Structure 1
Amino acid sequence: MNRHSRRGFITAASLAGGLALAPGALADGDQAKWSDEQRNKARVRHAFARQNSGGSFYEILADDVVWTIVNGRTYHGKRQFLTEGAAPVLSRLRTSLHMTPLELWADRDTVIAMFDGDAVALDGVGYHNNYCWIMRFRESQVVRVFAFLDTVAVNELIARVPRTS
C-alpha cells in the first residue's frame, strides 16, 4: 500500500499513482491477495478511466441497479436511469463528462466515490458539478447507488440548454 492510502481510504494522490486501474489487478500482479474492497475500488477507478477515455462509467452498472438521487428520484434498472436520470444532463453537453476522482473509500461491498464532473454544454458554457456516489457491489457490478450532487448546477443546465435527442 502506498504512503497516501490506508485501509478503506484512498486519497487523490494514490488514485494518480498507486494501484493499477484494471479491475481486480494488483500492482504486483497477485490478484488473489486483494480484498473485495480493493477489487471494488479498482473497478471504480477503471470505470472513471473508461469514462475519461471516451467510454462510459455506467458500464459498471448491473441491469437491475437501483439508483437514487438523494432528495430526488429513484430509478429502477439501468435502462430507466440512463434514459430518465442521466440523459437529461448528458444530452445537453457538447463534450463528455470528465470525472475527476477526489477520494475513494470502501467497506466490504460498498465504495464511496467523491469526484468532480466537468464538461462543456451545448451553448459553450462550462458545466461543473460535485458528486458523491455510494455504490454497493454484487460480484463485479454496481447494484445500488445513492447519488449526492449539486442539483442547482443540474437545474441551471436544464433551464439554460434545450435538450437534444
Structure 2
Amino acid sequence: MSSDKTREFLTDLFDQVESGDYMPLLDALSESVTWTVTGSSPISRVYRGKDDYVRNCYGALNQRLTTWPSARVRQLIVDGDRAVVFFQGEDGLGRNGIDYSMEYCWAMHVTEDRIDEVIGFYDGNKVSALFD
C-alpha cells in the first residue's frame, strides 16, 4: 500500500476507535495477524492469528475492563505499508477500580486494508495492575 492509502486507512480506523469501541480494529485484523505485546505483563507474548489474539489477549482484557480507553492519536508516522501510531488511551477503567488510561505506541504493517502485524508498547505496570 502507498503511504497515502495506509495513512487514510489508519486515520479512519482510529477515528472509529476514538469512542472506545474497538470492534472496527478487530474487524480490520487479518486472520493471520501477528500481534506482539511487549514487556513482562500477564498478556505479554506473541499472538499468532486473529483468533489467538482475540481470545487470549483482547478477551482477557475485556474480562477485566469496565470501560475500554478511548484512543486519541497524537502522532501517525507512515512509510508505505508500515506505520507507527502513538496514541493516548483515556478514561479506561478496570473492574478492580484501577485507572487504565495510558500512552500506547503501535508499530503496524498494513496490507490491502488489513492489519497483519502489530508490535505494541504499553505501560506494563498498568497492564499488570489490571490483573491483580
Give the TM-score band, short-chain normalised. Answer: 0.7 to 0.9
The superposition leaves residues 67-97 of structure 1 with CA deviations (integer Å, 9 ceiling, x where unpaired) of 1112331010011111111222222111232
Contact 1:47 1:58 in 2 (8 A): no
- Normalised to the residue count of structure 2, the TM-score between the two structures is 0.84
Task: Give 2:94's match in structure 1, choosing from 100, 121, 126.
Answer: 121
Q: Cα distance, 1:58 vs. partner?
A: 2.2
Per residue, is there more strand in 1 or in 2?
A: 2
Q: Give the 5 Å matches for 1:99-138.
A: 99-118=71-90, 119-138=92-111
Q: Cα distance, 1:55 vs. partner?
A: 5.0
What secondary structure sits across from 2:65 in the alignment? coil
Change over 3 Å in CA distance of 1:144–1:55 after alignment to 2:
closer
Task: Give % identity.
Answer: 24
Q: Which has the higher contact order (CA 8 A, sep 6+)?
A: 2
What secondary structure sits across from 1:50 in the alignment? helix
Change over 3 Å in CA distance of 1:85–1:112 after alignment to 2:
same
- Normalised to the residue count of structure 1, the TM-score between the two structures is 0.69
Unaligned runs of 5+ in 2: none
Contact 2:84 2:106 in 1 (8 A): yes
Task: Give 2:114's match in structure 1, choosing from 141, 147, 150.
Answer: 141
Aligned residues: 125
